[in-house]
Amino acid sequence: MFDKYIKINEKRIIAGQTSSGVWYCKELIAETTEELKTMIGEVNTILNTFNTGNETKKPSKGKKVKGLD
């Protein structure tokens, strides 16, 4: 009979994009904390390449009134 087994790990990375065009990771499945650390670093590197140039502008602190800087 068959005495060899093959284990297939299903790894999934689900990414999304905000309305402003910034890519982010929604779901990241890992079996161990060490694997998760490695995968997070890799996912960040990949998503950062897509997010280059998509930096959102910082909101202003309000209207400037002459003489009240």
Alpha carbon dihedral 24, 30, 33, 35, in 10-degree steps, equals: -90
Predicted confidence at residue 53, as pLDDT, reads 74
Q: What is the mean pLDDT of each successive set of 10 residues along the chain, which is 69 residues long?
A: 64 86 89 90 91 62 57
In eight-state DSSP terms, residue 19 is: T
Length reported for the chain: 69
Report the first-to-last Cα separation within the chain, whole angstroms. 83
Query: Which pLDDT belongs to residue 56?
Result: 52
- Find all residues with CB under 8 Å of 65, minimum gap 6, and list them: none
pLDDT computed for residue 45 by the predictor:
92
Query: What's the rounded Cα separation, in Å, for the pair 15 and 23?
Result: 7
Task: Give the pLDDT confidence score for residue 65 in this predicted structure.
Answer: 56
